[in-house]
Structure 1
């Protein structure tokens, strides 16, 4: 057969099917026709279809009686559709209450064929009732499917229908279709459903030319089907800015609107008003558009401004006219292409019958033939398809043969782009081009070019099948497959669901080879001839390999590589299961498989396992049970029970659909009625191996949630090992397991190991998935968190900013992931003491989440809690408390009183009370949190231990040293056992216990613990980590309290200089270390140095933290103390009065810090001999301290001792003695 020239033009084919179209074409009419032809060729023709098209299509059918046609035509009107819908409620047994049954009968009577014309109120009332019941039962779409599927099957599909054929020709020629009809007869005839891949309204996709299929302008206008049952629905469409603006955009652009079947006056029975509005919107602009009319039609004035294009003397002339318009599109054929990734291979064995069946089916030119090769992974589907591709190329040089790797969206899009380039499609390289639609259109439009499209490995039901969830938007890549009589499509798939969705009943179930074919394939694969006399060993080998081609090819490759014998290989197959898995996991070269695919038989079904695991949980449960039973004659009754028979049938259908199990007749001692299933032996072996890896993953993730990080680490290490063996080091599941393992390292404070893994995951995802993929961004955020935990703020900040910017660009500024990354950056700012920047981001995140997710969404509440934490860190207790209370109350109501998030908010509120010195309220909340966490999370959960540590801190601040110490020892020992001796949380509990020793003056014990913490923290976290520096500062304070000034000073200088370099000169922790060094100078009487440092700290804190921040007030008190020690009473008094008044206003008159400032001022009075003023303040401090902190609190005893000294200096010996004895006895006790 001669090849077609590379490029040529097609001539118009203006046949009229025997009908004479006697229309005088005036110059004006010819101009209109030319304009439409140009619009069609440039892709700028939009055909607006009214109800007349569907009614005509039904009325011209010949295959049914008049009554049936009449009923179908009734469905094209609102009243008739309502009648049928009300009948559907009864026919389908939709549940109705007694009152609803009465209401249904009333509506049926009022709307019945013999009844008087119902009022608008009656129609609307009936429509609302029908709509409500169909929606409640989730039957609205189902009813439409049944109603119009039946009409299409009965009246259109099997009869000639020139009208719909002509519209299909226009569509295939590049026209776009708008319809006001609620039926989908046009959709069915052009065999094109709208592609709606997300929640974007169809109107936006259509007007942006990103949607194929018919755009319906009616009630459910974001979907392809829907109904308007009342005027409110229609009014919503008429008022909708999106629809109106889109129609205006079409009219003002280069589009040409062609109105078909809308009536001579745009009096379409459904939405005439909407079409009239379109026509009248702008008279001048409307001159571009055309309304089709018969020669004798009288055109209504309402359509002034539209061009009137006369198509003939009767409606029968319209299809011929539209066909002629469609033929005006000029085509340019490209040279046939051969896009197949594999060369022709020798050694193809068997499959003669299947090969001929496929070839015969694909050569049928009565329709666009499609056929699927269905079978188990490794059974040879792709190999048969490859053989066919090369044979078609050899026999038919004029054919384009196109192979698409359909395993996932990425491979599909990569192949589509390469095909588009080979076809020479203009604009294919445009970044904004819809490449899939362009290729589809080219193949569909080139009416004389023959092609074969092979869709290989179309296994993913979510990509290639229709979703079953009625609440989710339907989307399938199948919408991009071309439909034309000149092309054929061959699909290879493991999924019966995909096969039936893509090719209906046209599929061939490819079974394993016959024993003879299996032996021939094995011996063909060997490098040297096999001895003819050893037939028994060969039969045993192929039988053990279940006659599966992939297993046979793998076996021959292993024997070639190792030079072992068939008997040796048989012995290996008889080894323990782990060794057999290792044998079947041996990779080998195969020129008929993709370069990025792993070939071993133990791995080939992994993708199917994963699909089932993701979409069919019950099927996985069944497979898990079957994997542990004998592979033959498994009764369905012994599998886990489902909640319904339908679910059982669905689940077992999935497994049989993937050829993993096979149904067979009952036998033996089991009743013949019992359903028995065989599971494929090698599938069973592979499934057990996969399930083991899945179990490791699931256990690891569960243990992470429970806080058992070291145990989680063990399982996740096994999961990573198994995933690498199953899927390879770059598989998405492998990388997820590695990320989970990294999180266990991070939670154990093993930052180096966490960082190494996270960098590896991030770099791999960048290479495999690209830099902007959501999973890549997640891994970047995880690495940033590891930096954050190490106090590497600059590196964390850089990564978080990068993640934010990318997520904004890819996902949008208001996407939840974008907001999470903004919250993470705010946390980084907060830890650097950059309160203003943190607050700005947190407010932005909070307000956006309120608007997008709702005020009570968990993420919104988290952002409110983060903002409250920023307020707390700034000493803005009132604002912090208000937010924490609001979060806590909302979480109790929404999540429940015992939800972990609720308990966290209670703990946060307790911390706010703690910061204000409201010990009783803090203690009550903390005790409640501990008890609940013990019950809900367990006594050893990290959160439970944290709440115990918080309560110990409260005891410590109340001077309840024994209780504090008991709790701290318990927390420390538990953390050592659960988290490990070197975990950061363990080190924190050791430091807390050391602080309790420190407060009791047990300097030696405190020093020992602090030294131990420093050494471990330096080794694990690094010498410059914030936690390490804090522990060094604590040790310095211990030296200071022992009068070991030189050692204290050395350490404090070290901490200060390091913090300046790492955190910055104005970071709160840096300022604290400067204050500590000033204190050491003060205690040594080095007043000048102390004053300089304290003044510097005070001024910086005023600027950075504000004048009323607690830390600022502390630095003012420290400077006052330096003045006091120098006898500069006036300056000391001025500062102390200022501190006292501010603390009263900010913290409250009874806050411990307020009482401390009052005592300091009293001491200044005392040193000046102002005994009365000193006494008044000391008495006030003592009484308040006794009431708030307790009579035996150390601060209370100090205030009593100060008052005794005041009495002593006034010569009031008796009163002084009584107080001093009281203090001494209490302190002894």
Structure 2
């Protein structure tokens, strides 16, 4: 008579065929009744807080695609909801689980990725395995595998799918690949800032559309407050970069103070930036556990030193696409491959977006976060100086006579030049900043945009007077620029004293025979001629 075949066990020493159960060489019988639905549906531990369904807007297509990803895989479906911190990954997973709870009659279990095995056992053991001595399973992975191998079946739809949600994955190898999945009845959905899976199994979550962002804000503060300050509400959504976390936090803050106007809220954000209470205080009723800056900080902490340095450099640019050629120009001594590896880190963590044609984009709040990080770096001034010098090279073709094609060719660099030209680091960067302001003056003067031209001319003059002194030749140049602007507008009385002051400086400092002195004489003569 032949010996009975031993039970089929998996790599965790767990019988995956039911009936007898093998744990570390011990055999015992385990008989579980069919899993019956509870009053609230299939067994689950879903959070009771988060957005109500009527407040969850702008994600219908993402919900549908996520459901498709989790249903069409033949074995274990792993669909990643990736995206930068605050884009609403956890909220989307929660809303999906609530909406599709009935599609997983075996249950839905929410797990923190960093402690997934232990939390799965904590969910299953008191419900179905109270009589099992789990001390015989010497690792959390074996315990989690046991629970899955003997998960109760449903009475009406055996065996009944189960959805396991691993939230906030930070280490794919350890937390996803190392998480045991026993049998094809289990579906695994994980959220992460990093983009590990291929696009076919990954849902990349983007920002809200402007109309959806406004609707989300309206759900918190009420339609009447939005209607009363419609333009300000739209500016508020734009300032927050249509980031769901920012909108939810600001909306909650406004909801708690009905007398606070949207205009005042916008003013506080512009003054205090990411340090504003509306972006740091997290209501207990939200899915989020951190404020905006704190959410970004999680990604920052795992960046290499090279990636952090690159991030700070990128934060020096304006709110527009950045050409990679500019970055290379700022860091000419960096190894090309190492610089690209640092860039890949930022892209993988959804902190930087590839736009194509050598351009990269930063979310406005990410850019704000990177800019603030420069205050903690000893090389911040070196990086800032590099950015100013690179933008000066990119704008050096500007003159007082430009064609339309020449102006259009500068379209991608001007937003950055304007943002940097407004810096207040005059003590360290006064001269190059004044030059950048002068270039912007010439650009707008050539286009006949005299109001803008005057702003940049006056700013250049102010910087040079304060940094270089009232009698410096560069100060004379700024005086001459402003005078020429007034002269072209027919504001001769305003132009004449500026021309005369510029001439006096050049005669005294450069001499009567210097070309710049001759230019001042010529300008003054033309002014006199224009006045008859």
* TM-score over 0.5 for the pair: yes
Give secondary structure in 2 for the equivalent of 1:492.
strand
| Mapped pair 1:591 → 2:282 | no
8 Å Cα contact 2:35-2:106 kept in structure 1: no
Give secondary structure in 2 for the equivalent of 1:373.
strand
8 Å Cα contact 2:315-2:367 kept in structure 1: yes
8 Å Cα contact 1:631-1:679 kept in structure 2: yes
Report the Cα distance in structure 2 between the residues aligned to 1:45 and 1:528, rounded to whole angstroms. 56
| Mapped pair 1:405 → 2:116 | no
Q: Which of residues 677, 680, 703 is equivalent to 2:360?
A: 677
CA drift of 1:530 comes to 2.2
The 1:345/1:643 distance shift into structure 2, 3 A limit, reads closer
Q: In structure 1, what is the equivalent of residue 163 of structure 2?
A: 452
Q: In structure 1, what is the equivalent of residue 250 of structure 2?
A: 555
8 Å Cα contact 1:365-1:486 kept in structure 2: no
Measured against aligned partners, the alpha-carbon deviations of 1:1083-1104 in whole angstroms (never above 9, x if no partner) come to xxxxxxxxxxxxxxxxxxxxxx
- Over the aligned positions, Cα root-mean-square deviation in angstroms equals 3.5
Report the Cα distance in structure 1 between the residues aligned to 2:50 and 2:133, rounded to whole angstroms. 29
Q: In structure 1, what is the equivalent of residue 195 of structure 2?
A: 496
Q: Which of residues 63, 67, 88 is equivalent to 1:359?
A: 67
Q: In structure 2, what is the equivalent of residue 581 of structure 1?
A: 275
CA drift of 1:331 comes to 7.0
Q: Which of residues 123, 128, 139 is equivalent to 1:434?
A: 139
Report the Cα distance in structure 1 between the residues aligned to 2:12 and 2:205, rounded to whole angstroms. 45
Q: Which of residues 598, 604, 608 is equivalent to 2:299?
A: 608
8 Å Cα contact 2:306-2:342 kept in structure 1: yes
Q: Which of residues 432, 436, 443 is equivalent to 2:148?
A: 443
Consecutive unaligned residues in structure 1, runs of 5 or more:
1-27, 47-169, 176-207, 210-252, 256-327, 466-474, 667-674, 697-1229
CA drift of 1:677 comes to 1.3
| Mapped pair 1:342 → 2:48 | yes
Report the Cα distance in structure 2 between the residues aligned to 1:45 and 1:443, rounded to whole angstroms. 12
CA drift of 1:428 comes to 6.1
Q: In structure 1, what is the equivalent of residue 342 of structure 2?
A: 651
Which one has a larger percent helix, Structure 1 or Structure 2? 1
CA drift of 1:333 comes to 5.2
CA drift of 1:435 comes to 3.0
8 Å Cα contact 1:419-1:439 kept in structure 2: no
Q: In structure 2, what is the equivalent of residue 36 of structure 1?
A: 6
Report the Cα distance in structure 2 between the residues aligned to 1:689 and 1:174, rounded to whole angstroms. 57
| Mapped pair 1:538 → 2:221 | no
CA drift of 1:329 comes to 10
The 1:656/1:625 distance shift into structure 2, 3 A limit, reads same
The 1:428/1:636 distance shift into structure 2, 3 A limit, reads farther
CA drift of 1:506 comes to 0.6
CA drift of 1:479 comes to 1.8
Counterpart mapping for 1:61-100 below 5 A: none
Report the Cα distance in structure 2 between the residues aligned to 1:679 and 1:45, rounded to whole angstroms. 45
The 1:684/1:444 distance shift into structure 2, 3 A limit, reads farther
Report the Cα distance in structure 2 between the residues aligned to 1:610 and 1:570, rounded to whole angstroms. 29
CA drift of 1:531 comes to 4.8
Measured against aligned partners, the alpha-carbon deviations of 1:1173-1225 in whole angstroms (never above 9, x if no partner) come to xxxxxxxxxxxxxxxxxxxxxxxxxxxxxxxxxxxxxxxxxxxxxxxxxxxxx
Give secondary structure in 2 for the equivalent of 1:430.
helix
| Mapped pair 1:487 → 2:186 | yes
Give secondary structure in 1 for the equivalent of 2:302.
helix
8 Å Cα contact 2:118-2:140 kept in structure 1: no
Give the number of the structure with larger relative contact order, counting CA–CA contacts within 8 Å between residues 6 or more apart: 2
CA drift of 1:413 comes to 5.2
Counterpart mapping for 1:1214-1229 below 5 A: none
Q: In structure 2, what is the equivalent of residue 636 of structure 1?
A: 324
Measured against aligned partners, the alpha-carbon deviations of 1:1063-1088 in whole angstroms (never above 9, x if no partner) come to xxxxxxxxxxxxxxxxxxxxxxxxxx
The 1:656/1:477 distance shift into structure 2, 3 A limit, reads closer
Q: In structure 1, what is the equivalent of residue 81 of structure 2?
A: 373
Give secondary structure in 2 for the equivalent of 1:511.
coil
Measured against aligned partners, the alpha-carbon deviations of 1:350-376 in whole angstroms (never above 9, x if no partner) come to 211110011122122622212111111
Q: Which of residues 666, 683, 686 is equivalent to 2:369?
A: 686
Report the Cα distance in structure 2 between the residues aligned to 1:660 and 1:44, rounded to whole angstroms. 38
The 1:171/1:397 distance shift into structure 2, 3 A limit, reads closer
CA drift of 1:511 comes to 0.5
Q: Which of residues 550, 567, 576 is equivalent to 2:263?
A: 567
Q: In structure 2, what is the equivalent of residue 424 of structure 1?
A: 128
The 1:45/1:341 distance shift into structure 2, 3 A limit, reads closer
Give secondary structure in 2 for the equivalent of 1:457.
strand
Consecutive unaligned residues in structure 2, runs of 5 or more:
37-41, 154-158, 380-532
Counterpart mapping for 1:826-865 below 5 A: none
TM-score (norm 2): 0.59
Report the Cα distance in structure 1 between the residues aligned to 2:11 and 2:309, rounded to whole angstroms. 52
The 1:504/1:440 distance shift into structure 2, 3 A limit, reads farther
Measured against aligned partners, the alpha-carbon deviations of 1:734-760 in whole angstroms (never above 9, x if no partner) come to xxxxxxxxxxxxxxxxxxxxxxxxxxx
Larger mean Cα displacement after TM superposition, 681-690 or 412-421: 412-421
CA drift of 1:495 comes to 0.7
CA drift of 1:449 comes to 3.4
Report the Cα distance in structure 2 between the residues aligned to 1:485 and 1:648, rounded to whole angstroms. 42
8 Å Cα contact 2:15-2:149 kept in structure 1: no
Counterpart mapping for 1:298-317 below 5 A: none
Q: In structure 2, what is the equivalent of residue 313 of structure 1?
A: none
Counterpart mapping for 1:830-1229 below 5 A: none
Give secondary structure in 2 for the equivalent of 1:488.
strand
Count of aligned positions: 357
Give secondary structure in 2 for the equivalent of 1:593.
coil
CA drift of 1:647 comes to 3.2
The 1:422/1:638 distance shift into structure 2, 3 A limit, reads farther
Report the Cα distance in structure 2 between the residues aligned to 1:694 and 1:334, rounded to whole angstroms. 57
Report the Cα distance in structure 1 between the residues aligned to 2:12 and 2:360, rounded to whole angstroms. 56
Give secondary structure in 2 for the equivalent of 1:36.
coil
Measured against aligned partners, the alpha-carbon deviations of 1:217-246 in whole angstroms (never above 9, x if no partner) come to xxxxxxxxxxxxxxxxxxxxxxxxxxxxxx
8 Å Cα contact 1:634-1:678 kept in structure 2: yes
Measured against aligned partners, the alpha-carbon deviations of 1:609-640 in whole angstroms (never above 9, x if no partner) come to 1111xxx3322121121122224232223433
The 1:355/1:445 distance shift into structure 2, 3 A limit, reads same
Q: In structure 2, what is the equivalent of residue 156 of structure 1?
A: none
The 1:478/1:691 distance shift into structure 2, 3 A limit, reads farther
8 Å Cα contact 1:337-1:422 kept in structure 2: no
Measured against aligned partners, the alpha-carbon deviations of 1:672-716 in whole angstroms (never above 9, x if no partner) come to xxx2212211012123334535769xxxxxxxxxxxxxxxxxxxx
> Which structure has the bigger radius of gyration?
1
Report the Cα distance in structure 2 between the residues aligned to 1:521 and 1:538, rounded to whole angstroms. 11
Q: In structure 2, what is the equivalent of residue 713 of structure 1?
A: none
Give secondary structure in 2 for the equivalent of 1:454.
strand
8 Å Cα contact 2:274-2:280 kept in structure 1: no
The 1:621/1:584 distance shift into structure 2, 3 A limit, reads farther
8 Å Cα contact 2:117-2:179 kept in structure 1: no
CA drift of 1:174 comes to 8.7
8 Å Cα contact 1:584-1:602 kept in structure 2: no
Give secondary structure in 1 for the equivalent of 2:293.
helix
